[in-house]
Structure 1
């Protein structure tokens, strides 16, 4: 048996779980908390500390490899899994998942995932379980084969060893101006997210948002190093649709006006509207994308809400219902499915953004880097947390270390050849 024991350890995510429905309905911020009653089941308050659960696989040589389970910041909204409950997940792990882990060949990553993640009474395991356990299984396979996690993914999916770095995208949280400055000084590839998640931040007819976009563009020229020219990426949490209306033509018109206000930049607009179902999201996003393409706009639509699972991602990619798909790793489930999702996007000539959530951990972020680099995603999220420095350091340093190891491996292979 390659897995001799399984350890479980409760932990903390790097940010908070938020009740998105309550925030969209106008909950007022008081300092760091939101005032009012929660609306999504499971939330005891609108904002609660993120919890996680670590799973450790004790291998035959007594090495322990870990993976972390958690849900995303806006759990229970937009078709996502419900709020993470450490007690319930721990019980399910002990009853169902741990016995399965003792029976797998931990050196075979995808085969192990398939065996461990079989449905229970026709129900899929919680996606957080798939996410955390698959991280541990990937690390186990990498340890047993004496390779990096990225090399395991390349071998499993018949991919060449990657040579190029993946652009990194940082998110600002509510400390927008300070964190934008940090991103510019660190020459982040894609910025700033902006957390435009309320009417106050979006403004009447979107004017507050437009002014912020123009400020970010101006600020890059004021304090950025010569030649620095990032992609501007803003997550508006459906507020264009909320404020402007849900007509695709009107949404596209507004996005074009925003893009015209920063003509020298590529502009990504994430979650411009929420059409309340996956099918409606698919149809209307495809219309918005078509309008923008026909106009030759530099703006790109990024889908997040209503595009969660691997099958959702396949539908949006095949329908060209986005220029860029956020592959939100805890929502996808098994990290093997994140790799599959990137490859599906690339096959359909749609951008693949390996995202995730501020609620994640250092371990899940590092595993995501290996998936992103192995599959050569178009960009990846600096995570976890909302502080910029920490997530950018964790993801950036892991990528640099990985590329150094892969360069050495390639040199060794060339010398042997």
Structure 2
């Protein structure tokens, strides 16, 4: 059933996101932690502090039938780094949403999700495309509006738009621990989280002068998972090192010294598989692709079974395509806020189909519960390899939000299918009579 209505108004309210903005360049240059904050001066444009409160722009879309739906504009924790859009400041962008964006979308049919979302992608203000965070948040609201007007799930709206067959069970969730990497990993083991723990290995102190601290942590993960997890629990370890392996070893990445370190990581994780995200930051997309291809070929030649995950310099849909085409990674992180509209994240996941590269639907701890739920529908619609638990770094809340949204949606779709099947059977009986 479809409700005839139009988009009548769009409002934008500045608010808080689920974590913080961090100046990655300053941290990697050795900024010292002072409790939860950092000492020193920021180096990335737009930052007033090395760590500052995360922001969101709450977008309310009003429809003619009286319905109001919501999306949240959000940007990644490490904004302004690795080729991403600059720091997102909600007060600055609220007039853009209530002005040019509203002008473009008001009066449109909300059921035309893809058409509306693509119009947003093409919209320019003063000759520039909209910040990725705006396209991300407003597209979430457009998706919710389409689902509401059609009395269906956001998963089904996206699947119809992208031409996919949705997953019939929740996509494996990837939990992120933050700096509390031991306690939060233990929580994940108890809850049988399939992919974990992220680890936040973003400094020399956390990886160790020769990488030994990371090896010790991976060994602990394997041992503790067996102690706390159920007998049939088989986790996949996923560690984000924020380019720190490259900081330790430097290029070329197919040489024996580097490959041996990855072999040590594989041994430390055994008997469980392990994947390493962002092994190096080569300073540009072409350079990053070259470095990751070099590493991946070195690992393959040596028979080392550690998967590598693209993150740095893999931000846009075009970037994802470039990494996949080059065979530069076993997984690519589809970093949802960096791609703009949620339909573009869906297309990025789809681009991995039929290749050797799996799609990890990621994002950032610095999102909101609204954007996290929207991404759960992208994951289901495209049957991604894994989806990030978000927002925040406390683990439990983000895992609950994403996992429950997928379970709720799968159950709703199953009920709808049973009703359809029952109706069809009733029609057949009537026809026979």
Q: Distance in 1 between matches of 2:326 and 2:84?
A: 21
Q: Can you list the C-alpha shifts for 1:272-296, whole angstroms capped at 9, x where unaligned?
A: 0000000011112112122223333
How far does residue 122 in structure 1 lie from its aligned partner after superposition?
4.7
When normalised by structure 2's length, the TM-score is 0.94
Q: Distance in 2 between matches of 1:283 and 1:161?
A: 34
Aligned to 1:333: 340
Superposed, 1:327-366 pairs within 5 Å as 327-366=334-373
The one of 221, 231, 234 equivalent to 2:239 is 234
The answer to whether the Cα contact below 8 Å between 1:19 and 1:74 also exists between their aligned partners in 2 is: yes
How far does residue 158 in structure 1 lie from its aligned partner after superposition?
1.9
The answer to whether the Cα contact below 8 Å between 1:104 and 1:115 also exists between their aligned partners in 2 is: no
Q: Distance in 2 between matches of 1:52 and 1:296?
A: 45
2:400 aligned with 1:393, yes or no? yes
Q: Distance in 2 between matches of 1:352 and 1:391?
A: 20
The answer to whether the Cα contact below 8 Å between 1:106 and 1:140 also exists between their aligned partners in 2 is: yes
2:89 aligned with 1:85, yes or no? yes
When normalised by structure 1's length, the TM-score is 0.97
SS in 2 for 1:5: strand
For the pair shown, the structure with the greater C-alpha radius of gyration is: 2
Aligned to 1:321: 328
How far does residue 92 in structure 1 lie from its aligned partner after superposition?
1.7
Q: Distance in 2 between matches of 1:383 and 1:315?
A: 27
Aligned to 1:374: 381
Structure 1 unaligned spans of 5+ = none
The answer to whether the Cα contact below 8 Å between 2:170 and 2:403 also exists between their aligned partners in 1 is: no
SS in 2 for 1:173: coil
Aligned to 2:117: 113
2:10 aligned with 1:6, yes or no? yes
How far does residue 297 in structure 1 lie from its aligned partner after superposition?
2.5
* Equivalent residue pairs, number: 417
Which moves more between the two structures, 261-270 or 272-281?
261-270
Superposed, 1:289-300 pairs within 5 Å as 289-300=296-307
The answer to whether the Cα contact below 8 Å between 2:132 and 2:338 also exists between their aligned partners in 1 is: yes
Q: Distance in 2 between matches of 1:161 and 1:392?
A: 21
The one of 208, 212, 219 equivalent to 1:207 is 212
Structure 2 unaligned spans of 5+ = 425-433
Q: Distance in 1 between matches of 2:342 and 2:166?
A: 19
**Pairwise CA RMSD of aligned residues?**
1.3
SS in 1 for 2:411: helix
Aligned to 1:22: 26
The answer to whether the Cα contact below 8 Å between 2:259 and 2:302 also exists between their aligned partners in 1 is: no
Which moves more between the two structures, 122-131 or 186-195?
122-131
Aligned to 2:187: 182
2:45 aligned with 1:45, yes or no? no
The answer to whether the Cα contact below 8 Å between 2:259 and 2:299 also exists between their aligned partners in 1 is: yes
Q: Can you list the C-alpha shifts for 1:146-188, whole angstroms capped at 9, x where unaligned?
A: 1000000111122224313200010110111111111111111
Q: Distance in 1 between matches of 2:171 and 2:295?
A: 27
Aligned to 1:306: 313
Which moves more between the two structures, 92-101 or 21-30?
92-101
Q: Distance in 2 between matches of 1:268 and 1:45?
A: 32
Aligned to 1:287: 294
Runs of 4+ in 1 over 4 A off after TM superposition: none
The answer to whether the Cα contact below 8 Å between 1:161 and 1:406 also exists between their aligned partners in 2 is: no
Q: Can you list the C-alpha shifts for 1:327-378, whole angstroms capped at 9, x where unaligned?
A: 0100111100010000001232311001000110000000000010110000
Q: Distance in 2 between matches of 1:252 and 1:345?
A: 26
